[in-house]
Structure 1
Amino acid sequence: MSGPAARSPAADEADPGRLLLGRGYLRILLLSLCLGVPIAVACFFFVGLQRWLQHLVWEELPHTLGLGRAPWWWPLPALALAGLVLAPIVTRMPGGGGHVPVRGLGGKPVGPPALPGVVLAAVLTLPLGVTLGPEAPLMAVGSALALFGLHALRETVDARSTSVVATAGSTAAISTILGGPVVAAIMVVEAAGLAGPRLAVLLLPSLAASGAGALVFTGFGHWTGLSIGALALPTVPPAAKPDAGDFLWGLPAAVLVAAIVTAAHRLGERTCTWTSARGTAARTLWCATAVGVCLTVYALLTGRSPEEVALSGQDTLARLAQQPHAWSVPALVALVACKALAWGISLGSLRGGPIFPAVLIGVATGVACSGLPGLGVTPGFALGITAAATVVTGLPLTSSVLAVLLLGRDAYDQMPLIVLTAVVAVLSSHLLARRRPAQDVPAPSGEGRA
């Protein structure tokens, strides 16, 4: 198949309509639309299996053993097992189990040879309590399946067309848990930094794949009744219109969220350097065990379930939205501290996505700050989501749209605070970055480094 790159870039810029209506590009668009369906089906069962195993480990197994809920010591053997499972995947399997999450969601598309390692790392370790989300493995699965589809159809494409199809596959995958195609499409636009005809070339296949995938994903959810663990708030605390107090306290709280997320991310960079230096397998096990210690410390300090700090954080986020006052301020502080430490360690050593835990850290910080006079709970949610997502992704527009979608009807009144929080978070993260020396984060080789 001759892709859009068959003509010169200058001709593309001069006549974008000719590019978008060309036979090669229309074939890419149709292929992306068709790939969105099987990718969504695969992602549905991928996430459904992960959620089922999570429920089995943290709910069913403790109950079967007569323990009721998971006891304070439960994370120690669970995370040690996660480290034992992940170590050979990281050091022996192609692709090293996927991207190191501290490097973000970017990087080269994951090819089909690396797909087994990505799936095994996510399905076998995330349910055990690793404090990372499913979004990065989902994007890897989407891009690998898209490239596999190209190979299976025996399509001949150039590098540019291959990149477009891989991006469409990863967008279709992540849109299933980020509230639909809109957030995923905006993420593609903002992350790519494109404009003009190049924007349409990348965006239209991504929209086609994610739109078709969202329909299938939603249909399978209703048909099977399985939980997919999408980032969502079923209930949002009722809120009055924001006033001066919300901005007076809210913007400094956004700086605090940015500082906490940045510090945890810096810990992830140091952890990645440490685990990549030598003895990767043993150090991966040590890091997983350290995450378990963080979860145990939270349970001992608060008397609450360690599950609140474990995993990606979607369930705890939903409970915070439903009952924000069920946590005391000291419990919220412990939640933020232990979650941030566990997340920072996981970022540089384990495998998963960085966004979901960061959002919980931001929201818990915002809710804790809502005890200040004049700052409401819903503004705390709004600034927490926006500031944390902005810092961890570096995408303020995507983070603002995500906050608006999560807050639902309350978003309209909170939008001024949301957009100002995004600005403050960007400036704060850049200011904090300037105050430390640049540090390269090594990429995993996926070769037998033990």
Structure 2
Amino acid sequence: MATDHAPPPVEAPARLLLPQILPALLVGVGASLLFLGISALAEKFQHVLWNDLPDALGIGNHSALWTIIMLTATGIAVGLVVWKAPGHAGPDPASEGLGGAPLAPGVVPGLLLASTLALAGGVSLGPENPIIAANIALAYWLGRRAAPSVPGAAWVALASAATVGALFGTPVAAALLLSEALVGRPGRGSLWDRLFAPLVAAGAGAMTTELLAEPSFDVGLPPLTDPGFGDLLAALVIASAAALFGLVSCFLFPHLHAAFRRLRHPMVMLPLGGLVLGLLGALGGKETLFKGLEQTKELTASIGAWSSGELAKFAVVKLLALLVAASCGFRGGRIFPAVFIGASFGLLAQALVPEVHPAVAVSSAVLGVLLATTRQGWISLFTGAALAASPAMLALLCLASLPAWLIVTGRPQLELDHEGKALR
């Protein structure tokens, strides 16, 4: 009986790949410059709001009162943008993951303004989702006009890869993310042929970031040089426990989102969400504000200085802040705050069991929380390994990801469909 065999992938000749280099380089550099520009603007505005202004008023810049005032004011400001800006600053962020269909170019200014205000105002969200959405919209719009014969999906892939490369400061993260996305998709040529132009874009974005700014994910953990069975056991347990902790947010998300949606108007949802975030910030302290990456570095720079109670408070408050910010309509991503949640959880485990190596504790916990909140296996593994900055951690994290993935797979995600139901 004859059997059919799938034909081997057709290799793309070099003459088809070479013309892709220049557009990919342009998209890569442009995506990185937009990311760096928005980040720099948000940081300057943050300094004004949280340092210059309270100093001028004679108010403590991270006092409970100022925290509540600032987060509520940020909710009002973002609410005005979402209400009045063309396209309402993009779709409901609760139903948007990384990437997605290109937005109309007219939506991009409102989306970037809402994201910048949230970043500067202390909202517990990162820049990744709005920046990727903006770069996709601009690359798609400009690319379709400059080269109408190029499929629109190609510009989307270039912009996504370029922005991920810029965000992480390396093209490896983009390659992992795209390889996961391309699995099972029809297309001619080998995987590396299809990744060729996106990797050029990711490399250009990463190099632009490296040349103009410091790497983002160096948190200064002590390196793990000689892992043993005890380290493996700790990684397995901590990653699984962190995945369970992260799943709590996934189960709560649709209910909290539905509660805010009942308020209907952005000028009610966002100011109220800002007030709740202010109260949470007053409870958790300044460490639980903003996107969380700089605060993660502060935690890891003073290992042993925080009590287990303080670290538990940081993890719980940041988790609730992420949920509120994502539910009430603030524009932003969830990877950066999830890293802080994982770092707090890992340092809590290390505080309870001091024999656990800090790199094992933090990297494994970040891996578990990211698996639960993003369902991006490669990105979760890459981020955990990048935080440890130790090749010895990679094997431990690969093994630790297996039970953690069994815990999260098939469970509700931290993303909703357009009816408000959790994706699985």
Q: Under a length normalisation based on structure 2, what TM-score does the superposition of the two structures give?
A: 0.87
Cα deviation, 1:71-90, whole Å, max 9, x if unaligned, reads 12222111111211222333
Q: How many angstroms does 1:135 deviate by?
A: 0.9
Cα deviation, 1:234-289, whole Å, max 9, x if unaligned, reads 41135463333334444232222112222123333323333334523212321221
Check the 8 A contact 1:98/1:110 in 2, yes or no: yes
Cα deviation, 1:312-357, whole Å, max 9, x if unaligned, reads 1011111122112121110001101111111111122211001010
Which sections of structure 1, spanning at least 5 residues, go unmatched? 1-11, 222-227, 299-305, 444-450
Local SS of the residue matching 1:261: helix
Check the 8 A contact 1:111/1:147 in 2, yes or no: no
* Distance of 2:91 and 2:168 partners within structure 1: 19
2:347 aligned residue (353, 362, 367):
367
Local SS of the residue matching 2:220: coil
* Distance of 1:75 and 1:140 partners within structure 2: 29
Partner of residue 303, structure 1: none
Verify: 1:397 aligned to 2:389, yes or no: no
- AA in 1 matched with 2:183: G
* Distance of 2:190 and 2:419 partners within structure 1: 31
Cα deviation, 1:41-75, whole Å, max 9, x if unaligned, reads 22221111112222332233333433454112222
Cα deviation, 1:78-117, whole Å, max 9, x if unaligned, reads 1111211222333443443235444432422333122112
Partner of residue 377, structure 1: 358
Partner of residue 418, structure 1: 397
* Distance of 1:203 and 1:146 partners within structure 2: 17
* Distance of 1:421 and 1:100 partners within structure 2: 34
Partner of residue 108, structure 2: 115
Partner of residue 50, structure 1: 42
Partner of residue 326, structure 1: 305
Local SS of the residue matching 1:136: helix
Partner of residue 141, structure 1: 134
Partner of residue 3, structure 2: none
Change (3 A) 1:15 1:431: closer
Equivalent runs, 1:315-354 vs 2, <5 Å: 315-349=294-328, 350-354=330-334
1:203 aligned residue (195, 199, 213):
195
Check the 8 A contact 1:262/1:429 in 2, yes or no: yes
* Distance of 1:28 and 1:18 partners within structure 2: 12
Check the 8 A contact 1:367/1:380 in 2, yes or no: yes
Change (3 A) 1:16 1:63: farther
Partner of residue 252, structure 2: 267
Partner of residue 167, structure 1: 157
* Distance of 1:314 and 1:263 partners within structure 2: 22
Partner of residue 7, structure 1: none
Give percent identity, aligned residues only.
25
Partner of residue 246, structure 1: 231
Aligned residues: 408
Local SS of the residue matching 1:279: coil
Verify: 1:41 aligned to 2:33, yes or no: yes
Q: How many angstroms does 1:404 deviate by?
A: 1.8
Check the 8 A contact 2:338/2:369 in 1, yes or no: yes
Partner of residue 307, structure 1: 286
Partner of residue 287, structure 1: 273
Cα deviation, 1:285-311, whole Å, max 9, x if unaligned, reads 21221111111112xxxxxxx321011
Q: How many angstroms does 1:26 deviate by?
A: 4.9
- AA in 2 matched with 1:314: L
Change (3 A) 1:142 1:80: same
* Distance of 1:48 and 1:314 partners within structure 2: 15
- AA in 1 matched with 2:319: A
* Distance of 2:303 and 2:184 partners within structure 1: 40
* Distance of 1:81 and 1:68 partners within structure 2: 17
Which sections of structure 2, spanning at least 5 residues, go unmatched? 1-5
- AA in 1 matched with 2:336: F
Q: How many angstroms does 1:426 deviate by?
A: 1.3
Change (3 A) 1:15 1:279: closer
Check the 8 A contact 1:102/1:265 in 2, yes or no: no
Check the 8 A contact 2:221/2:358 in 1, yes or no: no
* Distance of 1:273 and 1:58 partners within structure 2: 32
- AA in 1 matched with 2:382: V
Check the 8 A contact 1:333/1:368 in 2, yes or no: yes
Moved more, 31-40 or 57-66: 57-66
Change (3 A) 1:198 1:165: farther
- AA in 2 matched with 1:142: N
* Distance of 2:408 and 2:9 partners within structure 1: 39
Partner of residue 355, structure 1: 335
Moved more, 61-70 or 165-174: 61-70
- AA in 2 matched with 1:189: S
Check the 8 A contact 1:172/1:214 in 2, yes or no: yes
Give me the CA root mean square deviation.
2.7
